Amino acid sequence: MKLIKYLWPSIPFLLLNLISCNKEDVPSLSTPIVSNIEVGSATCTASIIDEGSSPVKEYGICWSKEKEPTIYDYKSFRKGRASTYVATMINLHGETKYYVRAYAINGFDVGYGAVVSFTTNDTSPSELITTSINYITPKSAFSNGIVNFEGNPPITRRGFCWDDEPIPDTSDNQWTVDYDVQPYHAEYKHLLSNLNPETTYYVRAFALSEAGISYGNELSFTTPVDLSGTVGTVTDVEGNIYKTISIGTQIWMAENLKTTKYSDASTIPLVTDPVIWSNLTTPAYCWYDNEETIYKNLYGALYNWHTVTTGKLCPNGWHVPSEDEWIIIDSYLGGEEVAGIKLKEAGFEHWKQIQGSRTATNESGFTSLPSGWRTSWGEFYDIGEHNFLWSSTPCGLPNASYRLHSVDCDDITSGCTTRLRGGSVRCVKD
């Protein structure tokens, strides 16, 4: 009784406040529009129609699997005021019915809009194809794959997994790359390295998404026996003797070619004049700085690409390597990123020592030397710094492909250049 007596003066005011807190005091909101419905998310657009009797302090949407979601369920909110707003619902389950409504809070209470329902999309797995395995060496191989169907939800990463047991998965050897690095439906590839010779491996393409992991078909391959380290010699038609070295399954010259005659004993034209050189459409060779005595025995000759295409530049049973054959030696040594340091002659007897350059190991025995090159306008450049080596593969008129070993790079530079350039040649056995 004492409490009632104490509160009695305030009761009229409390009753007045309760009576006045009606629907017009709380915010009124539009019926939300749900769009962009995916497996795990959806977008909701709503509007504040009326703020009510005091300014809105917070607004947003709330959702639930129950029919009347409240702010105590899942919600997406912002502070302040707005008329129309867009919010995103995330971490939803696939193939599930949800209920959502807009809300806003002012100084009186929470106002809710009408409830709408929607159902998230069903999940569909991605489809991948492990398309091929190529450039197989005793230590490496390239795996190739393609995303045939992206599925739902979208792929975030894709890659390969491999093992010496069938049905490899992501708990075995694996490599992934962000899905947007290469365009959809484009074939992607990866160098499988550190393999063992004479071993059968199994490979599958795979992709990751919010729904989990999808695998492609399985391919298998067997690495060949490793013949590396076997040395020998080969003699050209002029009697020049070259050291040879086995690297993986290939046998390479370990010196630059220096012949002035084709394998049929016909003469290759020697062109010293820079103007004549720059206008050639026929085979020719030269010595660096036109100094045969100084450069022939160590660095060999420089040939334009027209000489390469004759098919008779190398000794019988040997040929100028194609782009594919350069890829094989590079991949055997761990890929273009590191192969250069394993191909170049060790030390700085012939390679210049410049700041930041690493000492080459020549662990392959290839003994790449910095023989420089001749430009398309007939000048000579970069002896001591670069070994420019021709490939027999054209790049479309008027270019051809090449390999470049540089003093300050561990990696290999490959690309296309004019066929007028003078470059070195290393022959590979048929």
Q: Are residues 265 and 382 in the same domain?
A: yes
Three-state DSSP state, 344: strand
Q: Which of 9-18, 43-52, 244-253, 275-284 has the lowest mean pLDDT?
A: 9-18
Q: How much is the mean pLDDT over the chain?
A: 90
Residue 357: its pLDDT value, please? 61
Phi and psi at 300, nearest 5°, equal 75, -170
Q: Are residues 280 and 394 in the same domain?
A: yes
- 203: amino acid identity, one letter: V
Residue 5: its pLDDT value, please? 41
Query: How do strand 58-64 and strand 74-79 relate by DSSP bridges?
Result: antiparallel
| Rounded Cα gap, residues 412 and 81, in angstroms | 59
Q: Are residues 259 and 361 in the same domain?
A: yes
Share of the chain above pLDDT 70, in %: 93
- 363: amino acid identity, one letter: E
Q: What is the CATH number of the domain that holds 101?
A: 2.60.40.10
Q: pLDDT, tens digit, for every residue of 108-124?
A: 899 999 999 999 888 77
Residue 172: its pLDDT value, please? 94
Residue with structure tokens 């300014």? 55
Q: pLDDT, tens digit, for every residue of 137-175?
A: 999 999 999 998 877 777 889 999 999 999 999 999 999
Q: Are residues 274 and 209 in the same domain?
A: no
Helix or strand (DSSP H, E) at 183: none
Q: Are residues 204 and 353 in the same domain?
A: no
Structure tokens at 317: 């049973």
* 23 pLDDT more than 70: no
The whole domain housing 338 covers: 231-429
Task: Report which of residues 184 and 212 the model is more confident about.
Answer: 212
**Would you say 354 and 347 are in contact if contact means Cβ atoms under 8 Å apart?**
no
Domain end position, chosen among 167, 191, 222: 222
In a domain, 364, yes or no: yes
Q: Which of 76-85, 182-191, 379-388, 395-404 has the lowest mean pLDDT?
A: 182-191
Share of the chain above pLDDT 90, in %: 75
**48 to 52, 88, 228: CA distances (angstroms):** 10, 17, 76
**Would you say 328 and 250 are in contact if contact means Cβ atoms under 8 Å apart?**
yes
Task: Report which of residues 2 and 34 the model is more confident about.
Answer: 34
Task: Report which of residues 305 and 154 the model is more confident about.
Answer: 305
Q: Are residues 146 and 267 in the same domain?
A: no
**Arithmetic mean of pLDDT, 92-102:** 90
Residue 398: its pLDDT value, please? 87
Q: pTM for the complete prediction?
A: 0.74
Residue 10: its pLDDT value, please? 42
**371 to 99, 144, 299, 374: CA distances (angstroms):** 74, 36, 5, 10
Q: pLDDT, tens digit, for every residue of 59-74?
A: 999 999 999 999 999 9
Q: Are residues 110 and 239 in the same domain?
A: no
Task: Report which of residues 177 and 180 the model is more confident about.
Answer: 177
Q: Are residues 299 and 408 in the same domain?
A: yes
For the chain, what is the domain count?
3
Domain end position, chosen among 84, 119, 154: 119
